[in-house]
Structure 1
Amino acid sequence: MPTRTSPLTHACPAPAGPRPSRRTNLLGGPAPILTSAVLWGTTGTASSLAPAGAPAAAIGCASLTLGGILLFLTSRGARSLPAACTRNERWLLVLGALAVAGYPVTFYPAVARTGVAVATVIALGSAPVFAGLLSWITAGARPTARWTAATTAAVLGCTLLVLGPQLTGHTTPMDLTGVALAACAGLSYAAYSLIGGRLITHGHPSDAVMGVLFGAAGLLVLPLMLITDTHWLATTRGAVVAVYLALFTVYLAYRLFGHGLRRTPASMATSLTLTEPAVAAVLGVTVLGERLPAASWCGLAVLALGLVLLTIAVGATRPSR
């Protein structure tokens, strides 16, 4: 995690004034980030309930379009945010929206080429690394030994958890294009997390920032959704899945994620969201009846240790109030 304060990775200290309310305390630090990751962890289980034949990319684009536009329409200050921004900040909004739109465009094709396990490990495992590197390049904020150790443990645990079944079974040839697409998804995630965090620490409301980024991204991917097969949306099951993903894994999750970025460095936030595959694995066992080998359970334990270390690190670096 960065060793010195920078506008790209750290939240500004709260101004002097009345003591923050209990609600403010609950919305600060790792709690909303971890809650977002839990919601994202339900994506795979929910998507598996979609009608047979529904394209994975179409499901992702539909949830982003519906959830993003809803986030924009219900976020206070979202409509006036571009006018309140400086010219450089407006360019950041454009880049952030492109990064948000780039995630489903790259991640879901990566899943089709490499499978859910490999794509998840590469995308989520590379995001904290990209976030740390981008923070270093753009703000000169070098990662600390604590952040490096905790993130390494979390990424290792994530790898063992998700790839455990493949490590104990038959392996399949690696698709290099799929690997590259998954890495691009990780870069997209890291980029919009850093951009959102920077705009928020500049004093713009987190709800407005997330509303603009995701609303614009939803419009960007709308044409892609329309050119794919959309018949599944007309079914009851398809509509329920799309609405659930839009409301909980986009609208609510990213609203909470924006609140978390107020007090959590983006490089740390992307590491904390490695909770997502752990939640997905537990749901797979309890809801879908999947079985995990010993390697995956060991990975889950290592991942939990890394997340505990990251949470402690967040508490140690939060600004005093």
Structure 2
Amino acid sequence: MNGKTAPFFILLAGVLWGTTGTTQAFAPESAHPIAIGAARLAAGGLFLLCMVFLAGKLDLKNWPIKNTLMASLCMALYQPLFFSAVTLTGVAIGTVTAIGSAPVLSGLLEWLYLKKRPSAIWWCSTFLSILGCVLLFMNKNSVHMDPAGLLLALGAGLTFAGYTLVSRDLVENYSSLSVVAVVFTLSAIFLSPFLFIFDMSWLGSVRGLTVSLHLGILATGIAYFLFSKGLVHVSSSTAVTLALAEPLTAALLGVFLLGESLTAVSWLGIFLIMMGIGVLIGSSQNSGRKIRAAES
């Protein structure tokens, strides 16, 4: 893989993440959202651990413990923060605040810790994409401005941005498969108490098991592996903006699989998200061509 294809790996990860909401809609009614998140990480961590052992790529020599713990903690915190925010303030506001704040917070973290100022193209793309997210969710009825919910949603955005920033440093020096396997196994361990706090009997049903396996293997294991592969050649701020393909996919799946309807404003939001992502990919392609031309 090279810098030219890296953005598409991240886009594909966003598409897989976008199946999460639709998949949860098919989960048994007794499944609590936080319990689903804990089961998702447990299944994803186990899947990735099996993959890295089969590939023989797990080498913990000189492994950066501090960064690994930070990435694992960020991912573990993201699950309860996001699901709690959605519960308190509704799907629309919770999702827009969490997903929409992540790119901006990622850019600020890069600026603060890496002294790397985001480009004008990135700001333009991020603005278009976030505006698109806001318009996309304006058709939802579950809008409730709860201050605690907003803070939790911002916390979710911050933890995802933090995970991306730390993970990029890890994948630059270690195998992407090894990184996600170690990080998600630790994240699953951090969230394991929830497996005993909430009723997990729904996992005994065929539907519950299918939902947890889909979320764990496709929407977590494979998705975050692709995301990590793309991070090798893409900055963390750019990656988080590209990941806004997630709400785009979720909205389209809601229309075509769950029978949901979108207003003209929401379709405009989808167009703006696609435009923002397109601008960012075009910028990445141009930057890659300039680098290759300079090297030759």
Q: TM-score of the superposition, structure 1-length normalised? A: 0.86
Name the residue aligned to 1:280.
Answer: 250
Change (3 A) 1:285 1:159: same
Distance 1:36 1:113 in 2: 27
Q: String of CA shifts for 1:31-81, please: whole Å, max 9, x gaps.
A: 110000000111001000011121011111101111112213322566433
The one-letter amino acid of 1:143's match is P
Q: Is residue 59 from structure 1 mapped to residue 43 from structure 2 by the alignment? A: no
The structure whose residues are more often helix, as a share, is 2
Amino acid aligned to 2:89: T
Match of 2:16 in 1: 39
1:70-149 correspondence runs (5 A): 70-75=47-52, 76=55, 79-81=58-60, 83-85=61-63, 89-149=64-124
Aligned counterpart, 2:147: 176
For 1:258, the equivalent position in structure 2 comes to 228
1:189 to 160, 171, 190: 160
Whole-Å separation in 1 of the counterparts to 2:42 and 2:176: 19
1:127-184 alpha-carbon deviations (Å, 9 max, x no partner): 1111100000001101111110111101100110122345xxxx74411111111111
Say whether 1:228 aligns with 2:198: yes
Contact residue 71 and residue 210 of structure 1 kept, 8 A: yes
After TM superposition, the structure 1 = structure 2 runs for residues 284-303 of structure 1, keeping only pairs within 5 Å, are: 284-303=254-273
How large is the RMSD of aligned CA atoms in angstroms?
A: 1.7
Runs of 4+ in 1 over 6 A off after TM superposition: none
Structure 2: distance between partners of 1:275 and 1:100: 19
Amino acid at match of 2:59: S
> Structure 2: which 5+ residue stretches go unaligned?
none
Amino-acid identity (%): 38
Whole-angstrom distance in 1 between the partners of 2:57 and 2:162:
20
Tell me if 1:160 matches 2:139.
no
Per-residue CA deviations over 1:53-112 (Å, capped at 9, x if unaligned) read: 21011111101111112213322566433x323xxx321111111001011020111111
Measure how far apart 1:27 and its partner are.
8.7
- Give the aligned residue type for 2:183: L
Per-residue deviation, 1:226: 2.0
| Unmatched runs of 5 consecutive residues or more in structure 1 | 1-23
AA aligned to 2:43 is L
Is contact 2:4-2:285 (8 Å) kept?
no
CA distance, structure 2, for counterparts of residue 187 and residue 46 of structure 1: 25
CA distance, structure 1, for counterparts of residue 249 and residue 135 of structure 2: 14
Which residue identity does 1:299 align to in structure 2? G
Residue 314 of structure 1: how far off its partner (Å) = 1.8
1:214-249 C-alpha deviation (Å, 9 max, x unpaired):
111011111112211111111111111101111100
- Give the Cα separation in 1 of the matches to 2:106 and 2:206: 39
Question: Using the alignment, how far apart are the partners of 1:63 and 1:273 within structure 2?
Answer: 19
Contact 2:171 2:229 in 1 (8 A): no
Go from structure 1 to structure 2 and tell me whether the alpha carbon gap of 1:218 and 1:106 turns closer, same or farther (over 3 Å shift): same
